[in-house]
Structure 1
Amino acid sequence: MSHIAHVREMDERPQMVKDHLLDAKKLAELYGEKFGMKYVSGLAGLLHDLGKYSNDFQNYLKQALEHPDNPPTRGTVDHSTAGGKLLFEVLHEQREKDLFAVLTAEIAGNAIISHHSYIHDYIDPNLETPYIKRVKEKELSEYQLCKKKFFEEVMSEKEFNQYCMFAKKELEEQFQKIDKMKYAELGTFLNKCVFSALIDADRTNTREFEEDCLGESLISKPDIMKVFYDRLMEKIQSFSIGENVQSHINQLRSQMSEECDKAAEKPSGIYTLSIPTGGGKTLASLRYGLKHAINEKKDRIIYVVPFTTIIEQNAKDIRQTLKNDDLILEHHSNMMTDDSEEEDDDWHAKSKRKLALAKDNWDSPIIFTTMVQYLNAFYDYGSSNARRIHNLSNSIIVFDEVQKVPTHCLSLFNMSLNYLSQFGSSSIVLCTATQPALNFVQENLNISSDAEMISNLNEVTAAFKRVNLIDDATKSQIDTIQLSDKCLNILEEENNLLVILNTKSAVRKLFEQLKEHISNDVSIYHLSTSMCAAHRKDILENIHDDIKNGNKIICVSSQLIEAGVDVDFNCVIRSLTGLDSIAQAAGRCNRNGKLATKPVYMIDHVEENLDKLQEIAAGKEITRKMLIDMKNDPELFNGDLLNQDAITHYFKMFYKNQEHKMNFHIPKLDKDMTELLTALGYQSTIFRAYKSKNNSLPITAMSTSIRTASKNFAVIDQPTTSVLVPYKEGQDYITQLNSQLKIEDISQLFKKIQHYSVQLYKHELDKIIENEGAIHYIDGEVLVLKEPFYSYESGVDIEGTGGLSDLMI
């Protein structure tokens, strides 16, 4: 009897179980080799679908093919436990005295049993052992048959045992690099990476079979980094021509770019790049990344940013510089939900299956993504998130505006960077004008004292001084009407003005107030995360044109404009907040240094409600105290609030204030997420609690609760949902969603529609659905906003009173 793993939709050609297992093994080995786990990952690929050798699965598949309109019930055949059970039997039960044999069985086996859901807990909060229940206690009636067929068709028992020893040896080599007290933490990250390699190998091989291009991913790709580096240097050399080339600012930019080039010759590690705002850090960091990639043979450069606006601006600049669109990937958000609970069989919901197989694995030479997506890859629930982790290995990862790491995720962030640096062969660049003190926290970053790429930082910062900070915040508070009057008065003198406030409601209220009082010769703009990326891009282009043409304008924005957005206003008003945000706001004023020193006013807006924005409130109070201290001692920080010493002082105070939040506390469990992920044997409370309850020790080496942790993880306290909006070309993409698309077509379409999506909080989405303002596409997997619920002036309108004709751009 032939044993079939999949049947291709277009021509009903079968893929044999043997072929799928061996192909997945090759891909998993390729992915796993980057983080030192070639054979452990290969084991996972080799055994993940072992259960498809069962008669039950073959009959299930036959029924699904013969009755496509009425297939068998989802999840009726378990085909993922058998592989984990075989590893448990060979490595765990037979070699219990060998810690690394046990760990090999657990790490590879857990990936196998979880490949249609997410990594199982070893001990969960109820003191149960989900992993053991699957691999040891669950009865599989045809397990012996599956094992027999595997050794007959795929690999002999002798070869398999030898392969297991290769896996055990490489795992042992990884653990020998660290102190035993860090074993559980390393085990968690290796679990995640092997799981990632398996998910990507399985889905990639299945996609290639579906599209009749098997082996495509195994073909070596041409090294594009040298071509990109030459194009970048051609661009940089063009800066040496022009009337302003000898200016002090341009000479400093050139000097810092050269220092980044020199830093690229250092070995892989964690480095800081503290170029002042307007100092050209995008191209300087790219110069480091491309040269380092050439020298160290890195696979890709990944830019991780806090806001999608930075992606839009930086990706555009780099595309133009490198003269390439196809090899630069922007990943803003997940348009499709990833909430499968358990077995997700291949023969149900074809649209959903296509979405799952579509490439979303960060396999590009240059990638732009957000901090949310980076943290989701490591810590959030769902196989689509985890699929990307292995491609973070052997990479250069540039964290642009790294000071925006959410405080409650800080320990998790540092843990991931330490792992990638030590075990993933990756180089990390912490890039910002306001460098946070990440090595002054409890779960500190393993960063060397000579990590900074730029020399003489205080002198460089002083040379880039283009603004005067004016403290109106500690004098008195101001309301919306008073602020509107202040804006109009400043506008008469400065011609263009940017106002940045702490809350979207305050931004919207000031915008409406100004609209009622500005004269016809003034343009007013509103920037908000309620707008899709394409919409914000159009507004920013209009702002650029107005400033260039000398038109009078006011832009009212939330903090999204503060980082990475290349705008150059004559004056900025910033609502009092953390010093890092004050510095970033100042970077939008006199950005190119063409004018004399210009004013940045700090105000205290009385109508901002920061009750739910506790980090902003905390940062605001620290900045206020520093302003008062400087009034009492004008020489403090050399009289400059934007001095590097002032920035370091601010972050030390801020992290001390927020120390209790850094380990991602989970209130309903009364545990920190870091504890769930680093539980180490006798040292952990959960291990001792298990022993007390069961009067015996758990039989696993690992005692972490990886699935529980992931299900309780959210970068943003209030989860959001991606919604596609009908803005300009977005309407055409919405139409395409209804057509019959191939898997690769879906991949390409989803890259485009990211620019036409908006993240909505649950209460916003509930209101829109209540007002019948959204439609589901692709079997309910993609949510699309109806036209009246999107405004060309302000973005999403949850009441449906907008429409696309209210302000055409």
Structure 2
Amino acid sequence: MAEYIGHTKIDKNGKIIAIQSLRDHLLNSKKYAEKFGSELNIAHVTGLAAILHDLGKYRSEFQDYIKTGNEKRGSIDHSTFGGAFIKEYVTDYIQLNECDPNTRFNLQMLQNILMNAIFSHHNTNGLKDYLLTSNKSPFLERIQNFLDSKKNVNELKIIKNIFYSDVMSKANLDDYFNQAFTEFKRIVENILTNKDTTLPNLAMLGNYVYSCLLDADRTDAANFEYGKEVLNQNNSQKIFKTYYRRLVDKLDDMNKGKISQINQYRAEMSQECDDFATKKSGIYTLSLPTGGGKTLASMRLSLKHSILHNKKRIIYVLPYITIIEQNARVFREKLNNNENDTTNILEFHSNISQKLNTQYSNISHKQNNFEFQNLMDLAEDNWDSPIVITTMVQFLNTFYSSGTKNRRRLHNLCNSVIVFDEIQKLPIETTALFNYAINFLQEICNCNIILCTATQPALDKINDPKLNISKNAEIISDLDERIDQFKRVKFINKMFSNGRKSDLTCDEAAVKIFEATAKTDSILAVFNTISATEKVFTKLNELLIENNVQIPVYYLSTRMCPAHRKDVIKDIKNRLEENQPVICISTPLIEAGVDISFKSVFRSACGLDSIIQTAGRCNRNSETDCGYVYLISIKKEEENLERLKTIKAGQEIMLDMITSQQADITNLLDKNVVAQYFNIFYKKENLNGLTQGKRVGEYNLSDYVFRVGVKENNINTVPFSDFETIAKNFEVITQNTTSIIVPYGNKAKDIIAEINGVVKNKSDLKDLMKKAQSYIVNVYKNVFDTLDKERALEVISPENSNTAIYALKEGYYNEYTGLTTQFNADCVANIIF
């Protein structure tokens, strides 16, 4: 029998140098999909999708294309045939077995899940929509268009016979399908136990199957492309046991001998977390006061729970505005005994590659001749490390965003402990979609969910959907007492003067900070925008130079790459530990996830949660009797919050609470004040419909989860969500951002150079992509456009791919403030593009 080709490997001259048979690819994909699907006990369901997904590659037309490369990539449909195969198979199955209505409905649900996963495995926007607001169904149209073609129907008959001969006999497929259907009925029965979450959980189940198929397909393709096994084979249980013992020993060492009172409180709460780990998986809250040690306490809980309940992974999710590398550094130091040892710990900031934006004519593009074959997609990480530290943006993207590399990771969240640090920073407009995802992960995927913060946002109080937080969910007992124990700052209201609001310019704010240096030489000042932060930083430096005051001033913002921010924070910490003078001017990124302590803090007006988090960077370890937090207000024209609607809303609510005396400057840490703040916040935002997601026509994104089933052309569509519409419209941040690798230091320059063509072995690419995570800056479209006009960007991925990796040219990265849109010759060193 003739050998059918699944994949080819092409050299730089366009010559085929290796071939993978289609049979091997289908069987290998089935093996991986079974492994992934076994986490939900649906190994045969996911295996069925995998073994049929590339059935259309048996077409003679496709075989001619893959041998010659004469056709445009993607121009020959191979995805629809596998879906059409399973539709025909299930139709015959129903007729042969005289199924009752309930069985028929379950069979058609299984059919549609498999069809859609197979249809969509090359669709950048995910699963096809089942039903649009116009009552059209792209899903139904896809299969109907196929069936309307006699050529397609005839080809399918030929392909079926080849498949039964080349891959799996009809008898074996029948047996395999029966096992898949048994698994499917069992999980649907589980989903039906909670009527409130039935529809969204069915939607998520389809997404889960899709994720398993994507990862199985990409993993096998990567194995073939790289010439080695890329699937992580780590023994998580062994790793977690080692890490737990190591962490507990280090915590015990910290508490030997005489320890401070505040460290004693931390040790007690850490032990409470350890004790709580025995409880069954659920959705729990960890409401440690700021400075309470929740980073290590939550990891201790996660490790012990993972050991006791056989979890495969720990996912640590931080807000998109924080510095995740700080937590990663702490975990590496405590668990790997070396802050630079990334073994078993993935620090994932964002996808590095993105679609090449051809509208930008000024971006240099390196010439390449070899076939790219989705190499960058294969190299992007699929989160199979035992411990993954990432952002809320990336977490939500696994469920809702465009890009198959995002959805590919979803199944790896299953059977994990997922810690959401600083959960109050969840973008308000994503609340509903977040709740859907978390309910599915806990109820169906057996995840243990920990919501960490000193200011719990009461997500269970939001209806439609309600987050199903477990009974007796709070991990820490006697919270009121713990909050009192950690009161170590005094708030001073500088937002008002003589009962009237007193707004400052950025220059005036810099003067206030400068004047404070007469009393203290350890100051943090946090502002809401990058623009205001830069203005204050610049003016303060001028004042210090003019007055010959020798205090170093550091700057922090998201215009700096993670490695740069890490170095700056390390320098600041060293100075603080040595009691040397230091000032830090920062955007809000420092207010969460950074273990640092200043004697005095200035905070631009914002929401209560941000005020409390910023206060947590003041007198953190009770170094003095009392630290001081000065609340100031910046003029609107200098700190424009129109595009930062959540920050603006929080600021307005906080000012109203203070002026109406609902909150007193002396009791901002009181949990009742915090609860009142969030109650007002959610009511205010619900009136604007923000918690329901972005508007799409007359509907909200979350409405798509509740599409009712329709009957059309005798095909029942099940009440699943329209993931393609969501993917086209979903964004965690209000503007799309683009990831750019920046030339910060020699390591970054070496990575850029290697990706740009020095790499000799493709198997090294995935490692390079991981290393590049520390040198990424994400920029909004307006900044990207400016960089394009300045000719400041280089595309360092092959030209004949629609995938781009953007690199910033030297001269556009400042050693103090990071990425800049204006060329500076002082920033230039030697690098070849």
- Scaled by the length of structure 2, the TM-score of the pair is 0.89
Counterpart residue number, 2:362? none
Separation of aligned partners in 2, 1:672 and 1:474: 39
Question: Once the two structures are superposed, what CA deviation does each residue of 1:510-530 show, in whole Å capped at 9, x if it has no partner?
Answer: 112112111341111111111
Change (3 A) 1:490 1:613: same
- CA positional deviation for 1:608: 1.9
- CA positional deviation for 1:224: 1.0
Question: Once the two structures are superposed, what CA deviation does each residue of 1:743-782 show, in whole Å capped at 9, x if it has no partner?
Answer: 4311111111111111111111111111111111112511
Counterpart residue number, 2:55? 50
Residues 107 and 187 in structure 1, CA contact (< 8 A), matched pair in contact too? no
1:149 pairs with 2:162: yes
Change (3 A) 1:221 1:470: closer
Counterpart residue number, 1:723? 740
Change (3 A) 1:368 1:219: closer
Counterpart residue number, 2:685? 658
1:788 pairs with 2:787: no
Between 526-535 and 654-663, the greater mean CA deviation after superposition: 654-663
Question: Once the two structures are superposed, what CA deviation does each residue of 1:415-452 show, in whole Å capped at 9, x if it has no partner?
Answer: 10000000011100001111111011112210123111
Counterpart residue number, 2:495? 473
- CA positional deviation for 1:262: 0.8
Which of the numbers 320, 325, 331 marks the counterpart of 2:348? Answer: 331
The letter for the 2-side match of 1:592 is N
Separation of aligned partners in 2, 1:703 and 1:176: 16
- CA positional deviation for 1:400: 0.6
1:536 pairs with 2:549: no
Counterpart residue number, 1:464? 486
Residues 811 and 828 in structure 2, CA contact (< 8 A), matched pair in contact too? no
Separation of aligned partners in 2, 1:44 and 1:236: 47
Counterpart residue number, 1:444? 466
Question: Once the two structures are superposed, what CA deviation does each residue of 1:209-249 show, in whole Å capped at 9, x if it has no partner?
Answer: 33344696679677211111111111111112254x1x321
Change (3 A) 1:743 1:451: farther
Which of the numbers 730, 735, 739 marks the counterpart of 2:753? Answer: 735
Separation of aligned partners in 2, 1:742 and 1:329: 22
- CA positional deviation for 1:625: 2.5
- CA positional deviation for 1:547: 2.1
Separation of aligned partners in 2, 1:305 and 1:180: 31
Residues 790 and 803 in structure 1, CA contact (< 8 A), matched pair in contact too? no
Counterpart residue number, 1:670? 698
Separation of aligned partners in 2, 1:236 and 1:208: 41
Q: Summarize the alignment of residues 409-808 of structure 1 with structure 2, pairs less than 5 Å apart.
A: 409-442=430-463, 443-475=465-497, 476-518=502-544, 519-606=548-635, 607-630=638-661, 640-659=667-686, 660-681=688-709, 699-702=716-719, 704-728=721-745, 729-737=747-755, 738-779=757-798, 781-801=804-824, 803-804=826-827
Question: Once the two structures are superposed, what CA deviation does each residue of 1:276-305 show, in whole Å capped at 9, x if it has no partner?
Answer: 111111111111011111111101111000
The letter for the 1-side match of 2:115 is G
Question: Once the two structures are superposed, what CA deviation does each residue of 1:99-155 show, in whole Å capped at 9, x if it has no partner?
Answer: 110010111111111111121111234433222233343132511111111112222
Question: Once the two structures are superposed, what CA deviation does each residue of 1:640-694 show, in whole Å capped at 9, x if it has no partner?
Answer: 111112111111111111114344444452211111133122xxxxx5xxx8xx8
Q: What are structure 2's unaligned runs of at least 5 residues?
A: 359-367
Counterpart residue number, 1:67? none
Counterpart residue number, 1:2? 3
Separation of aligned partners in 1, 2:321 and 2:785: 24
Counterpart residue number, 1:291? 304
How many residues are matched? 778
- CA positional deviation for 1:56: 1.5
1:116 pairs with 2:122: yes
Separation of aligned partners in 1, 2:235 and 2:23: 24
1:405 pairs with 2:426: yes
1:22 pairs with 2:27: yes
- CA positional deviation for 1:90: 1.6
Residues 339 and 381 in structure 1, CA contact (< 8 A), matched pair in contact too? no
Indicate the SS of the match to 2:374.
helix
Q: Percent of aligned positions with the same letter in both sequences?
A: 39
Question: Once the two structures are superposed, what CA deviation does each residue of 1:289-340 show, in whole Å capped at 9, x if it has no partner?
Answer: 1111111110111100014753111111111111252110010011101589
Change (3 A) 1:221 1:153: farther
Which of the numbers 354, 378, 385 marks the counterpart of 2:406? Answer: 385
- CA positional deviation for 1:92: 4.8
The letter for the 1-side match of 2:118 is I
Indicate the SS of the match to 1:297.
coil
Residues 197 and 439 in structure 2, CA contact (< 8 A), matched pair in contact too? no
Separation of aligned partners in 2, 1:146 and 1:241: 71
Residues 706 and 719 in structure 2, CA contact (< 8 A), matched pair in contact too? no
Separation of aligned partners in 2, 1:462 and 1:771: 54
Q: Summarize the alignment of residues 269-308 of structure 1 with structure 2, pairs less than 5 Å apart.
A: 269-307=282-320
Counterpart residue number, 2:137? 129
The letter for the 1-side match of 2:3 is S
Residues 352 and 778 in structure 1, CA contact (< 8 A), matched pair in contact too? no
Change (3 A) 1:208 1:220: farther
Indicate the SS of the match to 2:758.
coil
Q: What are structure 1's unaligned runs of at least 5 residues?
A: 65-70, 342-346, 682-686
Separation of aligned partners in 2, 1:472 and 1:512: 22
Change (3 A) 1:316 1:764: same
Indicate the SS of the match to 1:784.
strand
Change (3 A) 1:311 1:92: farther
